[in-house]
Amino acid sequence: MKFRQKSFGDIKPTDRRWSWLEVDMDAIRHNINQAKAKIGPNCKLLTIVKADAYGHGVLQVAKTSINCGAAYLGVATVDEALELRDAKIDHNILILSQPPASSIPLLVEYNIIPSIYTSEFAIHYAEEADKQHKSAPYHLAINTGMNRVGVRHNEVLDFLNSVKFHRALELIGTFTHFATADSANELDFYKQKSFFDAAIQKMKDNGFDPGIVHAANSASIFRYPDTHYDMVRLGVCMYGYYQSDVLKDLVDLKPAMTVHARITDERILGLGEGVSYGLKYRARSSVKICTIPIGYADGLHRAGAGKISVIYKGKIFPQVGSICMDMCMFEIDMNSSSAQINYNAQIGDEILLVGKDGEASISIEELAKQCDTIPYEIVCSFGRRMPTLYV
């Protein structure tokens, strides 16, 4: 039999499997505009599109954010940067950490700007730029207390002095990253900020131009205007999710992602019958159990089993039993006020795992709490296998 890949397009992904994401690009535009209003016209915007734009689709989000005025795109890996270049996106791209030195030829060839914090990398990078008759622009990452990556804040001059002999190197930006921008306790945050301010001042005092100074992630954009400097890095809030409750009153965000499925099977169970692996759930009365094709390989965290819910016909119903790799089940109680729905639930009916239908709504933030994680991890994992429709 001949495999005809082209024919995939004849039958849409959502007609091949009944689970999908919808991403509302107007919501993303709205959230970017909220950030722009906060930072004013003189501060640049870097939009973070790493991890396939937090599961929302990197090319769509990159293009939209460029149209909304982003000066820079931020990614985590060389491959993420190359994917943007491959799609003919000819915009400033910053890799937010230092990639392996073995990837340097690609950085130079495709004008991908690295964050740098070791002199070995800086020299390699400058030498490769010389070889390709180009310059070697970079952003310096300063570690002010998160202790993840960066030159330690009190060793910045040593670093700069050790690489300054290389004329191809061009310091075009300097940044740090906050560990606690969304925490109720602000002490560590201000400590980091003062270390950063001191490091920048010391650079200037010693004749080093730090270039574009930046520090703010989503939470600090809305919470700490004095961390805006020359540019801010907008991540999770661009997608419409609150990093923590401290942000709730500071900005009006619109969530971009909703999660959809259709019922693929249904049956009525009697008292005591079990559902899914381990039969950990047992029916306490006569119930209808409906199956939907979304499991932990689709990003529905197994830790949420028995705690999460779905929306069906504008009402909330509990998910029951273990979450499988590709499917999970939910329950409609025959004796509840929703009994009418119970009798009618049929294969093909649409349900929502995240979104709003009438009075009923389930947010990414709620789902994250029920799964004992953060909104970031929830949206990243939903992006892995389900197709995305842009609305």
Ligand X SMILES: *Cc1c(COP(=O)(O)O)cnc(C)c1O
Binding site residues, ligand X, CB under 6 A: 48, 50, 96, 177, 217-218, 233, 235-236, 243
**CB-nearer residue toward ligand X: 74 or 137:** 74
- Burial code (b: 16+ CB inside 10 Å, e: under 16) for 68-81 equals bebebbbbeebebb
> Please, what is the minimum distance in Å from the beta carbon of residue 115 to ligand X?
8
**CB-nearer residue toward ligand X: 139 or 301:** 139
**CB-nearer residue toward ligand X: 177 or 193:** 177
Torsion 276-279-280-283 (CA) sign: positive
**CB-nearer residue toward ligand X: 73 or 104:** 73
- Residue 277 is a catalytic residue: yes
**CB-nearer residue toward ligand X: 215 or 310:** 215
Q: Which of 38, 50, 193, 288 is catalytic?
A: 50
Residue 9 to residue 356: CA distance in whole angstroms: 29
Classified as helix, coil or strand, 296 is helix
- Residue 280 is a catalytic residue: no
Residue with tokens 């599961």: 55
Q: Which amino acid is at 256?
A: A
**Which residue, 207, 240, 203, 233, is CA-closest to 218?**
233
Torsion 26-31-32-37 (CA) sign: positive
Interstrand relation of 328-333 and 287-292 (parallel, antiparallel or unpaired): antiparallel
Residue with tokens 């002999």: 165
- Is residue 387 within 8 A of residue 22, CB to CB? The reply is no
> Please, what is the minimum distance in Å from the beta carbon of residue 48 to ligand X?
4
Residue 246 to residue 243: CA distance in whole angstroms: 8
Could you give the residue numbers annotated as active site? 50, 277
